[in-house]
Amino acid sequence: MAAPPPFPAPAPTGAPLAAPVAVVGPQYCAPYVVPLTVRKKSLSLTDGDFTVTDSNGAVVLQVKGTLFSIRHRRVLLDAAGQPLLSMQEKVFSMHHRWEVFRGDSSHASDMLFSVKKSSLIQLMKTDMDIFLAGNTAEQVCDFKIKGSYFDRSCAFYLGDSTTLIAQMNRQYTASSVLLGRDIFGITVFPQVDYVFIAALVVILDDIHRDKAGE
């Protein structure tokens, strides 16, 4: 697996975590805040037009997806085009559950985590539970997302707590309006796996697309 690209190192903010949040791998946990920008082309014939860049504009991650399929599936690639994660919607899942696997796999032994709605009815709000693969009982979530994806304003929490690990906000530019691009920023806190956070954002987009009837 390719090493992650270097990021500028702004001073860490907030209380440090007791241990790194390394879901995909510890090499993706920086000891400083990692700012990312996600660019999604809204007027597209595919589901794969996502690019994630760092604060210098360098491509860090890309997403490829499937269209016109009973099961939505996306693959998260590094800058060199190597698959890091595969994400697929569980068929006939009431809570819009997505399962995420290492690399380009879809085998149960390679599953890292799953994402589902906390409740069936969510109008303008976003409330998601994330469970690591080892948490088979799912009595308490390992991570949670709250906010409004419609407004591109969401907070990512460690477990069912108030400990923030990342935040997302929309970015408006003249080109985004003219070219039909949805651009939003992600702030990944120190010692948090930025590939994991990027995957959650991709899944949020697909769940929001389904809810909007796209």
Give the number of other CB atoms < 10 A from CB of residue 72: 20
Tell me: domain 33-116+170-211, CATH 2.40.160.200, correct? Answer: yes
CA distances from 197 to 42, 67, 70 (A): 21, 23, 26
> Of all residues in the chain, what percent carry a pLDDT higher than 90?
51
pLDDT tens per residue across span 145-182: 999 888 888 999 999 889 999 999 876 555 444 444 57
Which is more confidently placed, 171 or 34? 34
User: What is the spatial distance between Cα 37 and Cα 56, in angstroms, rounded to a whole number?
Assistant: 10
pLDDT, position 37? 92
pLDDT, position 100? 97
Instruction: Quote the pTM value.
Output: 0.84
pLDDT tens per residue across span 100-139: 999 999 999 999 999 998 876 655 688 899 999 999 999 9
Give the number of other CB atoms < 10 A from CB of residue 90: 15
pLDDT, position 117? 87
